[in-house]
Amino acid sequence: MLMTREQIRQDTFFDGLTEAILERDQPRTADLYFQMVARQRRSAADALGVLTTAEAPFVQVPSHINMRDGQITLVNNDHTILGLRTSAGLTPFLPEAYRLLPLLQSVWYVPVGLDIWNQLLGRYPGRYATMKGMVVPPPSYGPVVWNQDQDPITPEGSAEEKLHAHLIATMSGDVRHSYGLFLGLAADPETRPLVRDQLQFLGLIDLQDTIAGRKARNTGHKALRARAVVELADLIGWERAHGVYYIGVPDMAVGPLYYSLYDAACVMVTSELPEAGKNLKRDNVAPLTEGRPRRWCGCSRRRTARRSGICSPRTSGMASRSGASGTPSRSAPRSSSSAPRCRASSRTRSTPSTTAMPPTPGCGPATTRTRRACST
């Protein structure tokens, strides 16, 4: 059974930690954590359970983009959970006398990482406001709690149906429902490993296909946060890790959400692999022959470029032309007939032929599968 925030706040250090965090008192916050571990002889994991529960409401954001003066601006992800996860991982590699140092450094950071949304607007003091060169005087109000805590949601149905409901709630940006469904799944020891894997999967697929020239971007933070959630939960104990869930899980559904890169990967797998790759793990038991991955990836890239209109079939063949030695000739000057031609300037396209693929162990008879040959 998962402990609730109300149960964890009965800890004698909870109110003191909450007060120190809200007053942005970094020395006191770090000292209270030190007292719990070094003086009260409590485990670092137990102290992290109390600390994360105390800070969780105040590190939420409503969105990861904002609009100012007609321009899209980025709203950063909370970094407190990332620091705590990394510090906990460093601990075993340090001498006994120094093992608390990484954790104390991460705990020190917590009070300046609150309410990032208002920090970036110059309405609340902290690390992000300072980073932007803003001097924000101490306010008479506290940080905004953008996402409220939730009770576990346990709908009727099988474990697979509950997991799918959590998946769709997260991908559609339903923060409250996604968080509640996660808590319901995490409370059941039978479904806990499944939702652990699914949370990390959701983090991995939330990644756009480019960040070049973008203000609204996701540079893999969702995957890092998902990993931080599950690793800290493993350390603290899933029953006592409510604060970790409250910090990290609602944010997995906070937009904007990017699935374009995963969508493109799904299209590629469906197009190139037998049965859309559904039985690849079962059937693909033999190692690839030398050179086959290179040939397959190169062929797929050229074919994708032609389909997207980046270049004409004639251009794609240039990548595989070889000199007399059999290696790509990079120094030979291009003639006018071999210069790249964009699709926009080419009104005709050659039709690739269809040839049988060579047999591959574990992939079925070659006669049942064909692929388009690359134009070279």
Structure tokens at 212: 């070049």
Averaged pLDDT, 47-63: 98
Structure tokens at 356: 């049988």
Instruction: Count CB atoms within 10 A of the CB of residue 367.
Output: 9
What pLDDT is stored for residue 294 in this prediction?
77
* CA separation for the pair 200, 186 (Å, rounded): 14
What pLDDT is stored for residue 303 in this prediction?
55
H-helix or E-strand spanning residue 153: none
* CA separation for the pair 75, 102 (Å, rounded): 26
Structure tokens at 66: 């904002």
254: exposed, middle or buried (C-beta count within 10 Å: 0-12, 13-18, 19+)?
buried
- pLDDT tens-digit map of 67-92: 999 999 999 999 999 999 999 999 99
Structure tokens at 204: 């991995």
Instruction: Report which of 154, 241, 172, 167 is spatially closest to residue 199, judged by C-alpha positions.
Output: 167
- Confidence category of residue 363, pLDDT binned at 50, 70, 90: very low
Residue 10 pLDDT greater than 70, yes or no: yes
pTM of the model: 0.77
- pLDDT tens-digit map of 323-343: 444 444 444 444 444 444 444
- Report how far apart, in Å, the C-alpha atoms of 18 and of each of 11, 15, 51, 314 are: 11, 5, 8, 65
Structure tokens at 19: 């007060």
Least trusted range by pLDDT, from 205-219, 253-267, 345-359: 345-359
Least trusted range by pLDDT, from 117-126, 240-249, 351-360: 351-360
